């Protein structure tokens, strides 16, 4: 039952936002009493914390599986983007923004975990791209990986990028192309252009 609650709460929080969804809403959607939820989670904050980590771990596992395929590093970045966007429902409800505003301690913990996972993943992608001659061998991997993470966080800032002007999917595409054009070698740019043309 605990996993069932986490799964359904995760879906609802991502679709409607952490603030909007109540314990009553989750209980009603699952066809159970609120008392059953409270047997597993003391309060909504505990549920939000557990759900956030549950979603994070599922996404991390999926990213690991994509990285294990060792595809072309440029294609790998876009595959990860598609996978994450699919799991986060295109972030229509700005979950990260709401989490930061209403549950700052949980947000801070999540951000640190995201940083650790992304550093590992992005560094591996950069190293492989350099080895394959797709990325310039003069780039500073430590710098690029940190800029990449901070840019991803910035994209989710509703004040900087209001959703009425930018969909999260479009923002991610703009950023990935911007990122890759900054680090690609001549060979990498040819690969990137071919990839973008086949996607459009």
Instruction: Delimit the domains of the chain by residue range.
Output: 2-199
Q: Tell me which residue of 42, 15, 14, 4 sits closest to 23, measured CA to CA.
A: 42
32: phi then psi, degrees, rounded to nearest 5:
-130, 175
The stretch 12-16 carries a mean pLDDT of 90
The confidence score (pLDDT) of residue 92 equals 59
Q: Do the Cβ atoms of 148 and 122 come closer than 8 Å?
A: yes
* Res. 69 pLDDT band, cuts 50 70 90: very high
The confidence score (pLDDT) of residue 165 equals 87
Q: Where on the phi/psi map is residue 31: left (φ > 0), alpha (ψ -120 to 50), or beta?
A: left
Q: Does 56 have pLDDT greater than 90?
A: yes
Q: How many residues can be counted in the chain?
A: 200
Please state the pTM of the whole predicted model. 0.88
CATH ID of 2-199, from 3.30.70.2190, 1.10.357.10, 1.10.1580.10, 1.10.390.10: 1.10.357.10
Summarised one tens digit per residue, pLDDT across range 28-54 is 999 999 999 999 999 999 999 999 999
Tell me what percent of the residues of the chain surpass a pLDDT of 90. Answer: 76
The confidence score (pLDDT) of residue 86 equals 86
Q: Angle, nearest 10°, between helix axes 44-68 and 23-30?
A: 60
CB atoms within 10 A of CB 143: 9
Summarised one tens digit per residue, pLDDT across range 85-139 is 888 765 555 777 788 889 999 999 999 999 999 999 999 999 999 999 999 999 9
Q: Which residue has the tokens 């969909």?
A: 167
Q: Where on the phi/psi map is residue 90: left (φ > 0), alpha (ψ -120 to 50), or beta?
A: left
Q: Which residue has the tokens 């066809």?
A: 31
Token pair recorded at residue 111: 């951000």
* Distance, CA of 100 to CA of 118 (rounded, Å): 19
């Amino acid at each position: 039952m605990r996993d069932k609650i986490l799964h359904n709460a995760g879906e609802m929080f991502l679709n409607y936002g952490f603030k909007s969804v109540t314990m009553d809403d989750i209980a009603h959607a699952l066809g159970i009493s609120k008392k059953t939820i409270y047997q597993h989670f003391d309060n909504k904050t505990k549920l939000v914390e557990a759900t956030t980590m549950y979603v994070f771990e599922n996404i991390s596992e999926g990213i690991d599986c994509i990285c294990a395929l060792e595809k072309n590093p440029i294609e790998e970045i876009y595959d990860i983007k598609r996978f994450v966007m699919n799991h986060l429902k295109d972030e229509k409800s700005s979950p990260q923004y709401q989490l930061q505003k209403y549950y700052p301690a949980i947000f801070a913990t999540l951000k640190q975990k995201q940083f650790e996972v992304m550093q590992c993943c992005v560094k591996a992608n950069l190293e492989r791209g350099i080895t394959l001659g797709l990325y310039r061998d003069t780039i500073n991997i430590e710098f690029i990986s940190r800029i990449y993470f901070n840019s991803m966080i910035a994209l989710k800032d509703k004040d900087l990028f209001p959703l009425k002007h930018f969909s999260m999917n479009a923002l991610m595409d703009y950023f990935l192309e911007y990122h890759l054009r900054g680090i690609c070698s001549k060979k990498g740019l040819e690969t990137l252009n071919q990839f973008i043309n086949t996607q459009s």
